[in-house]
Amino acid sequence: MPPRFGGAPKCPRCEKSVYMAEQVLGPGGFWHNSCLTCKECNKRLDSTTLTEKNNEAYCKTCYNRQWGPKGYGF
């Protein structure tokens, strides 16, 4: 069987190939570490700050602002 080129998974954010040394598992597949940022505020994310909705990455603050509970507080 001939070698397969371009077989690396594609990053959901930048659509470029993600190679083993640079991949991070995120919503929808493997991401580049530098691409795994909040869709709203571009804050860099890791496993403790990542939340996801519709295969997009969000920080907890932006996620709660968009889809968190409403009507509490002031």
- Copy the structure tokens of residue 25: 């598992």
Q: What confidence tens digit (pLDDT) does each residue in 9-62 have?
A: 999 999 999 999 999 999 999 999 999 999 999 999 998 999 999 999 999 999
pLDDT-derived band at 70 (thresholds 50, 70, 90) equals confident
* pTM for the structure as a whole: 0.77
CATH code where residue 55 lies: 2.10.110.10
Q: Give the whole-angstrom CA distance, residue 54 versus residue 16.
A: 20
Q: Is residue 60 part of a domain?
A: yes
**43, 37 contact by CB (below 8 A):** yes
Q: Is residue 27 part of a domain?
A: yes
Give the per-residue pLDDT at 7.
80
The domain in which residue 29 lies consists of 20-67
pLDDT-derived band at 73 (thresholds 50, 70, 90) equals low
Total number of domains constituting the chain:
1
